[in-house]
């Protein structure tokens, strides 16, 4: 940009440059993958870590948050102790028999994973990259989405773990797939990228649960690419880990929907350091439906940023964005949602909502919904609110005998439930509600 003064590299940026030079040769993949990594790293190098000067990062300064760049995680050695620890860190969701895929420090560990249901095939990202299948390499690079984003570019440059999941056309898989991503005890950086390809008319539920065994800070930068072919249906739930308060976590989701496809994604953020949830969703085929929903419950100095870009390229598609945020302490919440309707995307039906409740004078919410509409026959709307708990409602409940913390928890739970209600699976809803309940009960005790 003219007049833009290039600042000197930060300590973290210098380390990332050195780390890439050191690790480049050992990162998995054939030469086209190497070229992809180099191009992505060049993007990062010229932009640097995102700061407030980058519009899409206006409320989250990753450059300041990442004072240092932690070393890349190396491949773990799975043992019995790790398996036990995993069951403790990520207990099974009640009444939901999922087929688990386990990532340790980003690396897929087949020995700890379950057998996949019929119609679903899985391979480690490193194997897929080593084979160099052109369609996989292209899909992983998610062309046209998030280009120029330095954090996503870092993920592309360093991606060393993750899984590639394929669901055969027409397979309606009843058993949910669950990716459990656990970090081991040392302090390090994890770069994982996974790919989910759902064939025409196939159905799948994918749950991503991140957990951490680390007491120290970690740096996670993960990305999931979801490609839903025509008439495919995907239910997706993501529960990031509650990390050490000095940690950073960039979690990107890139979704492309074919005609009549449906994609319903939910994220529950429970705080712990800095979380940047960035989602790109694109409608490539007509009559598709996409819903992005989420809830964030934050306290202390938690920082959670949800930034969405929804691109209506094809006509007759429906998008819904629905987010609820509860902020206590000195927490910061960010919601940036941008819905772009291309000139040909007539009959687009879009509705975006972000509602926040502040429980403390020191909490902050930044709400920024945007519509960019280039078609003339569309219905698109957005609403954003930031409020406090309704004192009249609290008094009403107290006057009926509910102690104040109970009355407040009841109202907050009802507020957040309006988002979790958008999750299709009842056992998953119950699980999410129980996590939110735990957060609320800890608030009552504080």
Using CB under 8 A as the binding rule, the residues of this chain from 149 to 208 that contact another protein are: none
The closest alpha carbon to 233, from 209, 208, 212, 206, belongs to 206
442 Cβ neighbours under 8 A, 6+ residues apart: none
Single out the residue of 415, 431, 433, 440 in contact with another protein (rule: CB under 8 A): 415
CB nearer to another protein: pick between 344 and 444: 444
**CB of 399: closest distance to another protein in angstroms?**
5
**CB of 266: closest distance to another protein in angstroms?**
17
Single out the residue of 17, 351, 410, 430 in contact with another protein (rule: CB under 8 A): 410
**CB of 172: closest distance to another protein in angstroms?**
32
Choices 109-117, 131-139, 315-323, 414-422 (CB under 8 A): range interacting with another protein: 414-422
Both tokens of residue 214?
A: 């680390």
**CB of 282: closest distance to another protein in angstroms?**
33
| CA 150/CA 16 separation, integer angstroms | 12
160 Cβ neighbours under 8 A, 6+ residues apart: 27, 28, 72, 73, 106, 107, 125, 126, 191, 192
Q: Are 297 and 269 in contact (CB under 8 A)?
A: yes
**CB of 403: closest distance to another protein in angstroms?**
5
Q: Are 430 and 96 in contact (CB under 8 A)?
A: no
Single out the residue of 189, 411, 423, 440 in contact with another protein (rule: CB under 8 A): 411
**CB of 50: closest distance to another protein in angstroms?**
36
Q: Where are the beta strands (DSSP E) in 184-302?
A: 189-198, 203-212, 219-228, 233-239, 248-257, 262-269, 274-283, 289-298
Using CB under 8 A as the binding rule, the residues of this chain from 416 to 435 that contact another protein are: 417-418
Strand-pair partners of 161: 192
CB nearer to another protein: pick between 145 and 419: 419
Using CB under 8 A as the binding rule, the residues of this chain from 373 to 402 that contact another protein are: 390-393, 395-402
String marking each residue 240-279 x if it binds another protein according to CB under 8 A? ----------------------------------------
Choices 61-69, 243-251, 408-416, 435-443 (CB under 8 A): range interacting with another protein: 408-416
Total site size for another protein, rule CB under 8 A: 23
The closest alpha carbon to 253, from 321, 318, 203, 332, belongs to 321
| CA 48/CA 107 separation, integer angstroms | 26
| CA 113/CA 266 separation, integer angstroms | 23
Report the interface residues with another protein, using CB under 8 A.
390-393, 395-404, 406-407, 410-411, 413-415, 417-418
């Amino acid at each position: 940009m003219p007049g833009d003064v290039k600042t000197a590299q930060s300590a973290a940026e210098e380390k990332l440059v050195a780390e890439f030079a050191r690790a480049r040769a050992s990162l998995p993949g054939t030469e086209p993958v190497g070229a992809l990594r180099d191009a992505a790293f060049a993007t990062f190098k010229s932009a640097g870590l995102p700061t407030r000067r980058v519009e899409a990062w206006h409320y989250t300064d990753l450059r300041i948050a990442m004072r240092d760049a932690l070393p890349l995680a190396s491949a773990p050695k799975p043992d019995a102790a790790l398996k036990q620890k995993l069951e403790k860190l990520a207990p099974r969701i009640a009444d939901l028999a999922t087929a688990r895929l386990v990532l340790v420090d980003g690396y897929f560990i087949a020995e700890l994973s379950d057998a996949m249901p019929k119609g679903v095939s899985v391979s480690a990202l490193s194997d897929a990259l080593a084979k160099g299948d052109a369609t996989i390499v292209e899909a992983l690079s998610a062309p046209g989405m998030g280009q120029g984003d330095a954090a996503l570019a870092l993920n592309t440059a360093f991606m060393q773990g993750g899984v590639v999941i394929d669901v055969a056309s027409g397979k309606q898989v009843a058993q949910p797939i669950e990716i459990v991503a656990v970090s081991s005890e040392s302090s390090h950086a994890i770069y994982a990228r996974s790919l989910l390809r759902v064939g025409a008319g196939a159905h799948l539920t994918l749950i991503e649960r991140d957990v951490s065994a680390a007491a120290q800070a970690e740096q996670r930068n993960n990305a999931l690419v979801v490609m839903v072919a025509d008439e495919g249906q995907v239910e997706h739930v993501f529960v990031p880990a509650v990390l050490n308060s000095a940690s950073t976590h960039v979690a990107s989701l890139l979704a492309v929907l074919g005609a009549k496809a449906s994609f319903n994604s939910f994220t529950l953020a429970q705080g712990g350091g800095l979380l940047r949830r960035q989602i790109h969703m694109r409608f490539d085929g007509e009559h598709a439906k996409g819903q992005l929903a989420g809830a964030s419950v934050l306290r202390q100095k938690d920082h959670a940023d949800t930034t969405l870009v929804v691109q209506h390229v094809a006509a007759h598609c429906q998008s819904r964005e629905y987010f609820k945020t509860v902020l206590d302490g000195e927490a910061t919440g960010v919601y940036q949602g941008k819905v772009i309707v291309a000139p040909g995307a007539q009959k687009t039906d879009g509705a975006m909502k972000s509602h926040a409740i502040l429980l403390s004078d020191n909490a902050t919410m930044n709400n920024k919904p945007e519509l960019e509409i280039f078609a003339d026959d569309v219905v698109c709307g957005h609403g954003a609110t930031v409020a406090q708990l309704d004192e009249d409602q609290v008094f009403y409940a107290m006057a009926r005998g509910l102690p104040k913390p109970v009355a407040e928890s009841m109202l907050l739970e009802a507020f957040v439930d309006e988002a979790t209600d958008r999750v299709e699976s009842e056992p998953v809803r119950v699980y999410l509600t129980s996590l939110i309940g735990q957060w609320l009960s800890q608030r009552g005790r504080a």
